[in-house]
């Protein structure tokens, strides 16, 4: 990224957010009786200040597909609402070139007691169409939402998925220059999600300026040209969608400390040796609680022996959250001879691999066995170590296989 | 636990710094920053389209699914009139003024308008929360739309009043063409001011609704709806009652629409300077309403 050099003519960005802050006053829950109010009519109830946005800056260029990601409560929706002009900002400036269309908090405002035609007209007019234009577009809106059969139904009789479809359909039919979309992919059935995807691709190709708020990192990496990560009201990462998506996953699993409980499961063994520690680490030897799919990782385990022992075998089984073994390996399979181990000696065992696991928690069960004896354990600690796997691509199974996808089309030969 | 969110890497930090600088440069010198929610803040034509669309939807909301719904709405002032008419002819002595039944009906019709517009508006911003929280649009359109819907009813009701007047032996007057519309406009402005003020206050103070309902009842009794001004023998009291701008309008409407022989507001006051009192009250109401609403408009979406 290079800031526009002074003097050069650079096209005006579609959206400029310059040092924007916004705070809310939250009244702390207090019941005021009428009498109390009458006695102290001027006293305001106690309140707390919540800073939802603290000096957020970013620009979105014309024709750019821009992603805004962040955990719940990080300020994404507040930012969108400020841009939409629904909230007044406390500091900074927002510039938007052209007409704005919004799809906020699962939909535009629909009145449950009105039929879809009235709701679509109201929303269209609110977003800047004339009543006639809004009425003219109704058919297109309904067609896209695939709700032709339900036109005369009141909105309250629509399923939530149908409402979202209608709302999204309205939002994209008002000819906006800038489109703000908050979490559309989270709802709707598979067919509609596919339809949204198609629309997003088309928008990107048509050079439509879009701001997409989402939790779906797959969508961010697929559609977005750039992205920003918000955390507690600040921008904490910006730029390349892949990097931002990774930061988001780090943030999600790195900060909620529910990780790496040792010794979750049962322990069996004859006591000749004891597995004391097991962990995942990166190539620098830094211990990991989050594994990124495709990245080089090492699983390590250590054991000390209290008796002279021979003919042992180190092994590990990786299980996913559903207790399915995903992968296992042992020193024997790797044709490593462990020799004899004297009392007081320490042994270590490690497995290097590129994380193949699908996103989710992965558990490691390290074990020391007597070679060839099957289930005679020196020590076996079930689900002794664990980590969370994150990924930016879907795999649909329990592992990701390195692969390429091809597609071609041609005229059918007769 | 660290409580301050911060970038996790040097790369992110550099990218954020660059983005911040870029935004600062892009914003420098620009004056067209968006303003956040406003009371109006859009071209008048768009504002009118919005008011119209919301009014139509409110109308549909009220009467959707009941074929007779709207008919009842129109019947209400007539039924009210029937009850009062019986009361005044059978139980109490009938005030002896020209076309009293029509005077009574007009009073009820006009008061019904004020009541519909204001009571409907009190909670309007809160009830339209779905829209207010999700789309930026001129907030003033909401109470205006309610008044517009009430005005529609008023006009239909007035047809009934005029027909009734002809049946009672009255005759059309030239003042129907100039004085009547002017008075109607003033009435609408007054009702709009009150509606706007109430809707804005209600967002923060929910006690406004019961307070206004009581006040409205009071206005009903002191606004010469039931009793024409001549029926009040005390001339000071007459003048005192006419300080209420709403009473002025009802009395003047009676002169302009029903009987030219009825005293005008000016005649009751005697002194034209006294007219300044209701005018001042009305103007003050409009100004206060606008200021309060304008202040409240940017905050509505947060305070709901």
Average pLDDT of every residue of chain B:
87
B21 exposed, middle or buried (CB, 10 Å; 0-12, 13-18, 19+)? middle
Q: What is the CATH number of domain A15-255?
A: 3.40.50.300
Residue A334's pLDDT is what? Answer: 86
B228 in a domain, yes or no?
yes
Tell me which chain B residues have a C-beta less than 8 angstroms from the C-beta of A251.
Answer: 8
Tell me the pLDDT tens digit for each residue of B136-158.
888 999 999 999 999 998 998 99
Q: How many domains does chain B have?
A: 1
* Domain A267-390: CATH class, spelled out: mainly beta
Cβ-defined contact of A85 to B132 (cutoff 8 Å) = no
B2 in a domain, yes or no?
no
Taking residues A309-316, what's their average pLDDT?
Answer: 88
DSSP characters over A234-261? EEEEEE-HHHHHHHHHHHHHHHS-----
Tell me the pLDDT tens digit for each residue of A338-384.
888 888 889 999 999 999 988 888 889 999 988 876 668 888 888 88
Cβ-defined contact of B5 to A110 (cutoff 8 Å) = no
Cβ-defined contact of A238 to B15 (cutoff 8 Å) = yes
Give the residue from chain A lying closest to B41, CA to CA. Answer: A85
B20 in a domain, yes or no?
no
Tell me the pLDDT tens digit for each residue of A124-153.
888 888 888 888 899 999 998 888 888 888
Who among A59, A86, A118 is closest to B133 (CB)?
A86
Residue A10's pLDDT is what? Answer: 55
CA separation for the pair A212, A145 (Å, rounded): 19
Tell me which chain A residues have a C-beta less than 8 angstroms from the C-beta of B19.
Answer: 1, 57-59, 228, 235, 238-239
Residue A374's pLDDT is what? Answer: 63
Who among A85, A100, A109 is closest to B131 (CB)?
A109
| Chain A closest-CA separation from residue B110 CA (Å) | 29
Phi first, then psi: give them for residue A162, nearest 5 degrees.
Answer: -65, -40
DSSP conformational letter for A149? G
- Which of B64, B134, B211 to mutate to test binding with chain A, by most A CBs within 10 Å of its CB? B134
Residue A352's pLDDT is what? Answer: 93
A89, A233 Cβ separation under 8 angstroms = no
CA separation for the pair B291, B74 (Å, rounded): 34
Domain membership of residue B119 as a residue range: 38-303
Tell me the pLDDT tens digit for each residue of B222-262.
988 888 888 888 888 989 999 999 999 999 999 999 988 88
ipTM of the complex: 0.77
Give the residue from chain A lying closest to B4, CA to CA. Answer: A232
Higher pLDDT: B54 or A39? It is B54
| Chain B closest-CA separation from residue A145 CA (Å) | 20
């Amino acid at each position: 990224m290079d800031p526009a050099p002074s003097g050069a003519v650079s096209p005006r960005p579609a959206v400029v957010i310059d040092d924007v802050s916004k705070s809310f006053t939250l009244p702390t829950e207090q019941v005021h009786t009428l009498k109390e109010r009458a006695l102290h009519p001027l006293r305001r109830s106690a309140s707390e200040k919540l800073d939802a946005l603290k000096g957020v800056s970013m620009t979105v260029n014309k024709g750019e597909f821009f992603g805004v990601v962040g955990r719940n409560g990080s300020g994404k929706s507040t930012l969108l609402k400020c841009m939409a002009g629904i909230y007044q900002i406390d500091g900074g400036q927002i510039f938007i070139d052209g007409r704005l269309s919004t799809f906020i908090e699962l939909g535009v405002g629909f009145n449950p007691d009105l039929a879809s035609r009235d709701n679509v007209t109201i929303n269209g007019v609110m977003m800047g169409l004339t009543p006639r234009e809004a009425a003219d577009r109704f058919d297109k809106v309904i067609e896209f939402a695939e709700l032709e059969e339900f036109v005369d139904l009141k909105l309250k009789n629509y399923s939530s998925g149908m409402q979202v479809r209608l709302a999204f359909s309205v939002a994209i039919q008002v000819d906006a220059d800038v489109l703000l979309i908050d979490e559309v992919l989270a709802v709707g059935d598979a067919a509609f999600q596919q339809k949204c995807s198609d629309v997003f691709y088309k928008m990107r190709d048509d050079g439509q300026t879009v701001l997409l708020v989402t939790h779906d990192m797959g969508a961010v990496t697929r559609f977005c040209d750039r992205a920003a990560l918000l955390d507690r009201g600040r921008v904490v990462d910006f730029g390349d969608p892949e990097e931002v998506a990774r930061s988001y996953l780090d943030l999600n699993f790195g900060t909620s400390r529910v990780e790496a409980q040792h010794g979750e499961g049962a322990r069996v063994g004859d006591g000749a040796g004891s597995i004391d520690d097991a962990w995942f680490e990166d190539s620098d030897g830094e211990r990991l609680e989050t594994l990124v799919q495709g990245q080089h990782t090492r699983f390590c385990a250590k054991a000390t022996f209290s008796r002279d022992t021979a003919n042992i075998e180190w092994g590990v089984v990786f299980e996913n959250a559903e207790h399915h073994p995903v992968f296992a390996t042992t020193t024997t399979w790797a044709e490593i001879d462990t020799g004899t181990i004297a009392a007081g000696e320490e042994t270590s065992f490690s497995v290097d691999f590129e994380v193949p696991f699908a996103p989710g928690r992965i558990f490691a069960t390290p074990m020391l066995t007597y070679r060839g004896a099957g289930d005679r354990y020196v020590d076996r600690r079930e689900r002794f170590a664990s980590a969370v796997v994150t990924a930016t691509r879907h795999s649909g199974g329990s592992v990701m296989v390195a692969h390429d996808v091809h597609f071609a089309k041609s005229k059918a030969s007769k | 636990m660290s409580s301050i969110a911060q970038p996790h890497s040097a790369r992110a930090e550099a990218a954020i710094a660059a983005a911040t600088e870029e935004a600062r440069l892009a914003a420098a010198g620009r004056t067209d920053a968006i303003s956040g929610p406003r009371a109006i803040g859009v071209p008048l034509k768009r504002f009118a389209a919005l008011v119209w669309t919301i009014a139509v939807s409110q109308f549909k909301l009220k009467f959707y699914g009941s074929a007779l719904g709207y008919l009842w709405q129109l019947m209400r002032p007539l039924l009210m009139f029937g009850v009062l008419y019986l009361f005044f002819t059978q139980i109490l002595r009938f005030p002896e003024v020209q076309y009293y039944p029509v005077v009574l009906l007009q009073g009820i019709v006009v008061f019904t308008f004020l009541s519909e517009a204001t009571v409907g508006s009190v909670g309007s911003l809160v009830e339209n929360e779905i829209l207010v929280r999700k789309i930026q649009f001129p907030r003033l359109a909401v109470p205006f739309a309610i008044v517009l819907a009430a005005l529609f009813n008023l006009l239909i009701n007035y047809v009934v009043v005029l027909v009734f007047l002809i049946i009672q032996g009255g005759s059309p007057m030239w003042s129907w063409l100039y004085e009547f519309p002017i008075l109607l406009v003033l009435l609408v402005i007054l009702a709009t001011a009150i509606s706007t003020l109430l809707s804005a206050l209600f967002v923060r103070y929910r006690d406004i609704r019961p307070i206004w309902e009581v006040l409205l009842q009071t206005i009903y009794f002191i606004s010469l709806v039931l009793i024409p001004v001549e029926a009040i023998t005390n001339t000071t009291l007459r003048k005192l009652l006419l300080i209420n701008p709403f009473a002025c309008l009802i009395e003047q409407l009676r002169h302009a629409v029903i009987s030219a022989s009825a005293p005008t507001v000016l005649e009751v006051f005697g002194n034209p300077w006294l007219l300044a009192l209701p005018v001042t009250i009305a103007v003050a109401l409009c100004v206060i309403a606008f200021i309060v609403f304008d202040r409240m408009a940017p905050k509505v979406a947060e305070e709901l």
